Structure 1
Amino acid sequence: MKSLLLTIFTCLILGPVFGQMQNPEINWITMNELEQAQKKAPKKVLIDVYTSWCGPCKMMLKNTFHNPEVVDYVNDNFHAVKFNAEGNQVVNFKGYEFANPGYDPNRRGRNATHDLALAIAPSQGRIAYPTIVYMDEDLSIIFPVQGYMQPQQIMPLLSYVSSDAYKSQSYEEYKSAE
């Protein structure tokens, strides 16, 4: 009986710890928390611009943003923000207020695009999901990258941004020098 109680107790205490080790999490913050986080500890910024209906966004969250190597690298080198590009939250960013005036709470599936997504996520004049927007410590956009990325695809980009290599060479030059 004692061994059964000890086993149950151990599972209750250590189970959540082992669960966290198996399912690492990125320390996501909101856009409204970003500027305060930068004041406390300036870092590069990674913004996951997603929508609730986007299949590749869900796959990237599950496969890429739960990969232990990606999680550790992002948590160490970036402030990571999840931003719903079709949500209705009001965002105060760099002295401006951004909203989604076309948001329809009764609409299922696609909704209107948030003003902040329109400001930070377009690439070549269009928005696609998912888009990862990289910013520097001053919250200036470095570049957006559109589309699903597997861990082995995003890791070189994370390194390229965090190492400041983007300031002196193209991504193609950086990758060929690795």
Structure 2
Amino acid sequence: MRRIIFIILILISEPVLAQQDEIQWMGFEELESSMEHESRPILIYFYTDWCVYCKKMDRNAFKDPEIVSKLNQNFYPVKMNAESLEKIEFDGQEFINDQARTKRNGIHQIPLLLASRDNESLTFPVLMVLDENFRIKIKSYDYLTSERMKKLIKG
């Protein structure tokens, strides 16, 4: 009987332990409902499928246990493919990828709105830290090593 209970406990706890190894990314719709329950800083990560540096960050910095723990505990981590074709409703507005109608790799309205720079083209990856009131604190348009990522989310 003890053996059965022990096996059941291991099977139940395994998914919980596995979740701690990965960042619990969310979308903008989830962010809006989460912010109603608890205020936290927000980390937004815009990537594209073709971005080599994005893939490298996914494999390295976003797998670092210290970064995973800090993002899951202290931030609302939002990850978005900048070329997404999905319609996203956020803050009472609807956002789409208008550029997809005329461009092969059109950029969605949300990254255009949040990550654009004056007189410079939008490059990826883009990492942003916003405070609880959605004010932008940090914007990064570079590949970040684990060490640089730790400094960025530190404060």
TM interval, shorter chain, is 0.7 to 0.9
What amino acid sits opposite 2:110 in the alignment?
A: L
Residues 123 and 144 of structure 1 are in contact (CA less than 8 Å); yes or no, is this contact kept in structure 2?
Answer: no
How far, CA to CA, are the matches of 1:144 and 1:122 in structure 2? Answer: 10
Q: Which has the higher contact order (CA 8 A, sep 6+)?
A: 2
* Aligned with 2:75 (options 73, 78, 82): 78
Question: How many aligned residue pairs are there?
Answer: 147
* Runs of 5+ unmatched residues, structure 1: 1-8, 161-178
Note the 1:1-178 alignment, pairs <5 A: 13=11, 20=18, 24-103=21-100, 111-124=105-118, 125-160=120-155
For normalisation by structure 2, the TM-score amounts to: 0.82
**Alpha-carbon shift at residue 61 of structure 1 (Å):** 0.8
What amino acid sits opposite 1:115 in the alignment?
A: Q
How far, CA to CA, are the matches of 2:18 and 2:30 in structure 1? Answer: 24
What is the alpha-carbon root mean square deviation over aligned residues?
Answer: 2.6
Deviation sequence 1:23-58 (CA, Å, 0-9, x none): 810010001111111111110000110001111101
For normalisation by structure 1, the TM-score amounts to: 0.72
- Taking only the aligned residue pairs, the percentage that are identical comes to 31
* Runs of 5+ unmatched residues, structure 2: 1-6
**Alpha-carbon shift at residue 126 of structure 1 (Å):** 2.8
**Alpha-carbon shift at residue 143 of structure 1 (Å):** 2.9
Deviating runs (4+, > 3 A) in structure 1?
A: none
Q: Secondary structure at the match of 1:48?
A: strand
